[in-house]
Chains A and B, each alone.
Chain A
Amino acid sequence: MTYFLDKDVFTQVQKKPTRDAFGLATSAMGETDDRIVVLTADVSGSVRANWFAEKFPERFYNMGISEQNMVAVAAGMAREGLLPYVSTFGVFITGRCYDQVRVLLAYSNTNVKLVATHTGITVGEDGVSHQMLEDVGLMQTLPRMRVIVPCDTREAVKALTAVKEMEGPFYIRLGRQSAPLVTSIEAPFELGKSLMLQDGEDVTVIANGVLVYEALMAAQILAEENISVRVLNMHTVKPLDHEALMAAALETGAFVTAEEHQCLGGLGSAVSVWSTQNKPVPIEMVGMKDQFGQSGKADELLDYYHLRAPDIAQAARKVLKRK
């Protein structure tokens, strides 16, 4: 398991924005696959689409500030055998375009990869209008749509590369803020297969996105209290890793979910729905509790909304009492 982790994660963790992965992955894939086109809506620099645009200007489409049209255009391009990677902020790509995503991507089963670069509370200073906290809910409830929330830039590059080979619509959730590099270069990425970053016996913390790092830190805090924590990096919300959940339920008997998203509709909901139907265990959720965020620095907001390691540790202590 240490093999999956960046060697500096517990000492001097490095940080990189996961949105960089969009520029890195698309410009690398563009070299070998000329089906790849990149579409954005007047935010090329913010989503790193400019990295692709510099290399492949003839396959880059800046659609202007018209996201609904961008998704429709991508669907048309996909029907013609191109492979569109479409990127803008999470609020727009899921919320504003929901009807287009539902009918033209999910129902029509078109080969379009949606990549949101600004998601969650860590969007920070821009405030509520730009802090998408409901996107995973919107996307995971759509039939055919698959949803990935990578924990760091490395994992994000692997995810963006992996979905190229998988037909049909995907939603990949990246972030604006620098996020700790948690996974190693060698760590595998397989759709729907979580990574056990640390084994444990008492409780399992199931996290994704930037909360994976916090989950690891929480496990350190709890280790000092002789609480043994399993940490699952549940990068794929849909399809959910049922096998790992069943093993965790049988072997640890209690869950804490952790995400930078509303608990209702997010990873917490997905895990809870699985557990209720397959192996009921007590679950505590760390995430946004039916509330909007506000302006502030990303780090301050993570503290303020209780999305940190101490909060996960507290949730673990609470869930242990319910075992």
Chain B
Amino acid sequence: MINPDSRTLKVLKEKAHTLRVDCVRMIHQAESGHIGGSLGLADIFAALFFKILNHDPSNPDWEGRDRFILSNGHVAPILYASMAHAGYFPVEELMTLRKLNSRLQGHPSRTNLPGIEISTGSLGHGLGVAVGMALAARQKKASHRIYCSIGDGESQEGSIWEAALSAGHHKLDNLTVFMDRNFIQIDGNTEDILAMEPMADKWKAFRWNVIEANGNDFDDIFKAFDMAQNNKGKPSIILFRTKLGFPVSFMDGVSKWHGTPPKDEEAEKALQEIEAYYQGGDDS
């Protein structure tokens, strides 16, 4: 059971806070990038990169590492921030996001940045790659796990369901997928644009172990990953309920913040709210 003690929890909350601050700064200075999902996922990424993943940032190709694939590649800022603070590359490099000759491409590029398992950004690709990695791990009798992040809007892609079918068919219990279920895609609410509910039933029907959790609550996050890891005979998906832009109030539920960078005063206000939330203590 992954059950972080109170000291670890305090560290993770601080990490999540740092990741959020960096995401706002990176996207603000780049004047482009996807801020809503990046902020909403910060707690999950802090839990993953600083507690759950078995990895060695100084040796990104370590054979025994857990694999992590960001299928919803547009939230690259939260991945980059997590990787930098974990030690994959210098934190200062974060501010090169989306700039000419940067290793931090708008969407993750495997050939540019060590630690990126596969280039993503075109939606619906990463889950299939994760399935391939899980099949390969099984064939090689390796014990590492494969983690994959997907979006809820992304799951409108048919290729997600092809991959879902194959993972269910092959009973890939070394695979943990999590979805950022914030109900927001570029053009609006997922249920207005192309309804995804009942989401949990869909995955169950595809032979997955389905776990629902609050993606902005560390206790819930750890419980969910723990349930996924201990489940046998099926791949697991955690449907993380998150809020777009969390904890920034003016981004919550506003689809504009899926992919619009904050202007100066908006970035300032976002940083203030993020700081207030962090100082607010244990009510997360």
Contact = CB atoms under 8 A, between A and B. Distances in A.
B135 A61 contact: yes
B24 interface: no
A77 B132 contact: yes
Question: Chain A: interface residue count, which band?
Answer: 20 to 34
A62 to B, nearest CB: 10
Question: Chain B: interface residue count, which band?
Answer: 20 to 34
B139 A58 contact: yes
Contact of A75 (B118, B137, B165): B118
Q: Is the interface of A mostly helix, strand, loop or mixed?
A: helix
B156 interface: no
Given A69-B159, A108-B118, A108-B119, A75 B129 contact: yes
B162 A66 contact: yes
Contacts of A99: 122, 125
Contacts, number: 101
A142 B162 CA distance: 25
B210 interface: no
Contacts of B119: 103-104, 107-108
Given A63-B166, A68-B162, A80-B136, A104 B111 contact: no
A81 to B, nearest CB: 8
Contacts of A76: 118, 128-136
A69 B166 contact: yes
Interface centre among B124, B130, B134, B139 (most CB of A within 10 A): B139
Contact of A69 (B109, B110, B131, B133): B131
Interface of B: 109-111, 117-122, 124-137, 139-140, 158-159, 162-163, 165-166, 169
29 contacts: A37-B139, A64-B169, A66-B165, A68-B162, A69-B163, A71-B128, A72-B125, A72-B126, A72-B129, A72-B131, A72-B132, A75-B118, A75-B129, A76-B128, A77-B135, A79-B118, A79-B136, A80-B136, A80-B140, A81-B136, A81-B140, A82-B136, A82-B139, A100-B159, A103-B119, A103-B120, A103-B121, A104-B119, A104-B125
Interface of A: 37, 58-59, 61, 63-64, 66, 68-69, 71-82, 99-100, 102-104, 107-110
